[in-house]
Amino acid sequence: MANQTLGMLEKALTEKRDGGRKLLVPYISGGLGDWIETIHAIIEAGADAVEVGIPFSDPIMDGPIIQEASQRALDGGITPSAILSELRRNSFAVPIAVMTYYNIVHHAGHKRFARELANSGVSGSIIPDLQLDEGGDWIMMAAENGIDNVLLAAPSTSPERLTRSAVSSRGFVYGVGLMGVTGERASLADSASEIAHRLKECTTRPVLVGVGVSNAEQAVQVSRVSDGVIVGSALVRRLLQGGGPQSAFEFISELRKGIDAII
Amino acid sequence: MSIMGAPSSSGRFGEFGGRFVPESLIPACFELEKVFTEAWSDPEFKNEYQRILRDYAGRPTPVTELQRFSDWLGVRVFLKREDLAHTGSHKINNVIGQALLTKRMGKSRIIAETGAGQHGVATATAAALLGLECVVYMGEIDIARQALNVFRMKLLGASVVSVTSGSRTLKDAINEAMREWVASVDTTHYCIGSVMGPHPYPYMVREFQRIIGDEALVQMRQILDGDVPDYVVACVGGGSNAAGTFVGFVDTRSKLIGVEPEGGAAINRGIPGVVHGSLSNLLQDDVGQVQEAHSISAGLDYPGVGPEHSYLASIGRASYATAHDSEVLEALQSLSRLEGIIPALEPAHAIAYVIREAGKTIPLGSSVLITMSGRGDKDAESVAMMLGENN
Ligand SMILES: Cc1ncc(COP(=O)(O)O)c(C=O)c1O
């Protein structure tokens, strides 16, 4: 694929990956506490992109930690537009992708939502309940506005479908590390390295694994196969416990150090 | 071709329906679609399904003509008696079908959400009958207001998980069941209790419930000398008893009317949106967060509705009205006193509508079939409280 067709998110991640770096993409819930400051802190600590959650009332792909973060943010009165205008008022050294559920996009309208993302400096979208089957229209509208829409590949995804998802995904391909919802796990599931391996076999796009990647050791383990990791619940738990930007900085630094040591 | 035929290959009824679920669940939806489609055209499967509904669940259920109630209203009212089916509601029809499919898929475990507890009880019953492990997700508020059904599920060997997130009612019970399904989909079938969820559920559940309408059509033609009722009325939560009833009459001249609770009227007050896997009318705020419903009836306390109802409303083939909590309570008492039939709070919505509209939008002398989707035992305690009875 010619380089100029790459969106901002994919371009940034591909260049870093090709430069020999493992990729680290933390997730944080928009609207939760000092979230903007936290984003700056995790970028400072070595994040290669940041996934910002736009809270939805019915997050069926999320476990208790991200559910609670979303609920707290919603109880505090946060709205999708409020999150996007905060993002617009700030500038960040790495690409920002938003993660939300499809009704938020559907309600705004594809065109309006894509433009709002673009105007806010967002360069990627992740919508877990909008995949290949229903995603065509949004993927196109997003692309027209310079937004890379990331598709997911799960351990249960068939080989034929996995290839199609990897082809249609933009930005990177999100390998779901286990059959389950987001949340911390005591050990890395075997399925995490397996999905990474399957994806690496069929795409040259960056392959990141998320869901159930909870600490530096697990991040290192899966990044030996994948191009990097997405870490959400483990970070958000620290924020829910009142950790603030400083604890986010420390945690992400630890992950960074871990995956940088992979040879 | 019937107006209520099969949806498109992507599961659409008109623009409504579809398959909006996390990637992890997509293969399970495809598998279910394939297995259901094969089973539903397999005479052996259909025989087994019908045999169980006949010998075990007591089908066909009768149609009862109401004498004193009809005299009172000046319209001729008939009830399709799903309250007389085993476990006390229409939910058994769907669950027997899905439990048989669970076995056909080689799965050993079945999970379900429940609001009023009727779907939970029916699922626990089918699981006991067919030797499946069963877990039911139920909102904390519903566990309190439907205590009898919680105990029945436990007696039947199911475990009941209390859901404390969000609304603590049906909506969040579905969220939790879906999350659990993502983690156990290899061994577990998610038995959705209404005509909602990702394709093929809305279609499949309607097909398993069409036995209501198919039976009722034959019964009504017999009673009315070949004619059909002027009106066919059913309550709408997710919309399964209504869809199963309507499908029998949709290609006749009968007017089809769904009755929603005032506080959960997705068709009347919602706009199209996506939750729990399909695009349909949905109560939501001005940015797309799903709103909580509020109804005295746990089985109708839901902000969404099955996609085929949005379709029927959009083409004008069915119309949808609402009933208030207070008129529902009155209807429940009227039917009990006049006919000796205590309805569940859910079908009491359909009864309330007919009481209110008889002699108005429903002309005197009309014939009306109401689907009596379930019996009132489960609600006795909370109704007693609402009526201020303390014994
Ligand atoms: C007796 C009865 N009727 C109706 C309903 C509503 O469901 P549906 O609209 O799918 O028929 C319920 C749900 O719990 C119920 O128990």
Query: What is the per-residue pLDDT across A106-160, written as a single tens digit (0 to 9) for each?
Result: 999 999 999 999 999 999 999 999 999 999 999 999 999 999 999 999 999 999 9
Same domain? B131 vs B187: yes
**In total, how many domains does chain A have?**
1
* A81 three-state secondary structure: helix
pLDDT in tens, A7-61: 999 999 999 999 999 999 999 999 999 999 999 999 999 999 999 999 999 999 9
- What is the domain extent for residue A113? 3-13+23-257
Report how far residue B6's alpha carbon sits from residue A250's, in angstroms, rounded to the nearest whole number: 56
Same domain? B85 vs B172: no
Same domain? B73 vs B147: no
State residue B389's pLDDT score: 72
Query: Element (H or E) spanning A86, and its range?
Result: helix A80-89
Beta carbons of A71 and B166 less than 8 Å apart: yes
State residue A4's pLDDT score: 46
Same domain? B230 vs B166: no
Examine residue B329 and state whether it is found in any structural domain, yes or no.
yes
- What is the domain extent for residue B338? 59-89+210-387
State residue B390's pLDDT score: 52
Q: Does A100 touch chain B (CB under 8 A)?
A: no
If you ran DSSP here, which 8-state letter would residue A177 be given?
Answer: -
Tokens coding B111 = 């999970």
End-to-end CA distance of chain B: 54
Examine residue A252 and state whether it is found in any structural domain, yes or no.
yes
Nearest-Cα residue of chain B relative to residue A108: B287
Alpha carbon of B328: minimum distance to chain A alpha carbons (Å): 29
- ipTM of the assembly? 0.96
Mean pLDDT of A252-262: 97
Best probe residue, ligand 1, of B94, B113, B118 (max atoms within 8 Å of C-beta): B118
Examine residue B231 and state whether it is found in any structural domain, yes or no.
yes
Known catalytic residues of B are 91, 113, 373
Examine residue B7 and state whether it is found in any structural domain, yes or no.
no
Examine residue A262 and state whether it is found in any structural domain, yes or no.
no
State residue B126's pLDDT score: 98
Examine residue A263 and state whether it is found in any structural domain, yes or no.
no
Same domain? B159 vs B267: no
Examine residue B40 and state whether it is found in any structural domain, yes or no.
yes
Same domain? B135 vs B19: yes
Examine residue A131 and state whether it is found in any structural domain, yes or no.
yes
Query: Element (H or E) spanning A25, and its range?
Result: strand A23-29
Examine residue A18 and state whether it is found in any structural domain, yes or no.
no
Same domain? B168 vs B143: yes
- Give the residue among B357, B320, B354, B364 at the shortest CA–CA distance from B334: B354
Same domain? B323 vs B381: yes
Residue A96 has pLDDT above 60, yes or no: yes
Tens of pLDDT, residue by residue, chain B (391 residues): 899 999 999 999 999 999 999 999 999 999 999 999 999 999 999 999 999 999 999 999 999 999 999 999 999 999 999 999 999 999 999 999 999 999 999 999 999 999 999 999 999 999 999 999 999 999 999 999 899 999 999 999 999 999 999 889 999 999 999 999 999 999 999 999 999 999 999 999 999 999 999 999 999 999 999 999 999 999 999 999 999 999 999 999 999 999 999 999 999 999 999 999 999 999 999 999 999 999 999 999 999 999 999 999 999 999 999 999 999 999 999 999 999 999 999 999 999 999 999 999 999 999 999 999 999 999 998 999 999 975 4
Examine residue B270 and state whether it is found in any structural domain, yes or no.
yes
Examine residue B2 and state whether it is found in any structural domain, yes or no.
no
Burial class (CB in 10 A: 0-12, 13-18, 19+), A241: exposed
- Is pTM beyond 0.90? Reply is yes
- Give the residue among B276, B215, B239 at the shortest CA–CA distance from B84: B215
Q: Is A184 a catalytic residue?
A: no
**Helix residue spans in A169-213 (DSSP H):** 190-202
**In which band, very low, low, confident or very high, does the pLDDT at A263 lie, cut at 50, 70 and 90?**
confident
**Helix residue spans in chain B (DSSP H):** 26-40, 43-55, 68-73, 91-104, 118-130, 140-145, 147-155, 170-184, 201-223, 240-249, 266-269, 307-314, 325-339, 345-357, 380-386
Residue B156 — φ and ψ, nearest 5°?
-80, 0
Amino acid at A140: M
CATH number at residue A129: 3.20.20.70
| Nearest ligand 1 atom, CA B119 | 14
Q: Which residues make Cβ contacts (< 8 Å) with residue B337, sequence separation at least 6?
A: none
CB-closest option in A71, A104, A157 to B27: A157
- How crowded is residue B42: how many other Cβ atoms within 10 Å of its Cβ? 12
Same domain? B19 vs B148: yes
Same domain? B121 vs B20: yes
Same domain? B141 vs B246: no
Same domain? B159 vs B178: yes
Examine residue B159 and state whether it is found in any structural domain, yes or no.
yes
Backbone dihedral region for residue B168 (phi beyond 0: left; psi -120 to 50: alpha; all else: beta):
left
Residue A2 has pLDDT above 90, yes or no: no
Report how far residue B167's alpha carbon sits from residue B189's, in angstroms, rounded to the nearest whole number: 25
| Nearest ligand 1 atom, CA B193 | 10
CATH number at residue B290: 3.40.50.1100
Final residue belonging to a domain, choices B178, B201, B224: B201
**In total, how many domains does chain B have?**
2
Final residue belonging to a domain, choices B143, B169, B201: B201
Amino acid at A80: P
Examine residue B246 and state whether it is found in any structural domain, yes or no.
yes
Final residue belonging to a domain, choices B140, B168, B201: B201
CB-closest option in A58, A81, A152 to B23: A152
**Is B115 a pocket residue for ligand 1 (Cβ < 6 Å)?**
yes
CB-closest option in A63, A79, A103 to B273: A103
